[in-house]
Amino acid sequence: MANVNAGHHDHHPDQEELRTFAFWIYLMTDVILFATLFATYIVLQGNTDGGPGPKDLFQMNGIYASTFILLTSSFTSGLAILAMNKGNRLALMNWLGVTVFLGASFLFLEINEFMHLVSEGATISTSAFWTAFYTLVGTHGLHVALGLGWMIILIMQIAKRGITPVTKRKVNIISLFWHFLDVVWIFVFTIVYVMGVN
C-alpha cells in the first residue's frame, strides 16, 4: 500500500472532473434554494402589517455601491483564473486577494445597511415583509461570507502547493461559486431593491 498523489493513470474517471461536475449539480440545488426564498419573498412582499415598507427605508446609493463592488469582484475572480491558466502563481494569489477584499467590502456595506434598517425600526420580527427581506438578502450574505473564508483557505493552499490539478480544480470551483453569487445578487438587486422602491 503506497501513498500516491493524483495524476496516476487509472481506469478511474478523472477525480477533478467528477468534482467539478458535482459542483455544478450543487449549484443547481443552490438555485432551488434561492428560488424558494425569492418565491417566499414575492408572496410576502406586500405584508408590511402597517409598518415601514421598502420605499420608506431603502437607501439606494449604498446598494448601487455594493452592487458595483460585487460585480467588480466577479471580474477580478475571472482575472485570477486567467492568471492561473497562464501559470502565474503570484498573480493568481493577488487577484484572489483582491476578490476577498472586495467581497469583504460588500459584506461590510451589507451589515451597515442592516444596522441602519434596524435602527430605523425595521427588524426581522417587524412584519412578514422584513422577515422575508432579511432572510433572502441575509442568505446571500451568508454565502458570500462562506465564499470568503473558502477563498482565504485556497490562497493558503496555493501558497503551500502551487498550481496543481487539485488546486486548479479548487480555484475553478470557487470562481464558479463566486459568479453564481453575483448572478443571485443581480436578482436580489432587481427584485428586492429596484422593484421595491419603484
Applying CB under 8 A, which residues contact other proteins? Answer: 1-5, 8, 10-13, 17-19, 21-22, 25-26, 28-30, 32-33, 36-37, 40, 43-44, 47-49, 124-129, 131-132, 135, 149, 153, 157, 161, 166
- Specify the residue, 119 or 160, whose C-beta has the smaller distance to other proteins: 160
- Specify the residue, 50 or 61, whose C-beta has the smaller distance to other proteins: 50
Kindly state the smallest distance separating residue 33's Cβ from other proteins, in Å. 4
Kindly state the smallest distance separating residue 123's Cβ from other proteins, in Å. 8
Residue with cell 432551488: 32
Kindly state the smallest distance separating residue 89's Cβ from other proteins, in Å. 17
Residues in Cβ contact with 77 at an 8 Å cutoff, skipping those fewer than 6 apart: 95, 96, 99, 174, 175, 178, 179
Kindly state the smallest distance separating residue 153's Cβ from other proteins, in Å. 6
Please say whether the beta carbons of 188 and 140 come within 8 A.
yes
Please say whether the beta carbons of 185 and 63 come within 8 A.
no
- What cell numbers appear for 127 in the block? 412584519
Kindly state the smallest distance separating residue 7's Cβ from other proteins, in Å. 11
Instruction: Calculate the CA 140 to chain-centre distance.
Output: 6
- Specify the residue, 69 or 155, whose C-beta has the smaller distance to other proteins: 155
Report the b/e string of 129-166 with b at 16+ CB within 10 A. bbbbbbebbebbbebbbebbebbeebbeebeeeebeeb
- Specify the residue, 36 or 112, whose C-beta has the smaller distance to other proteins: 36
- Specify the residue, 102 or 136, whose C-beta has the smaller distance to other proteins: 136
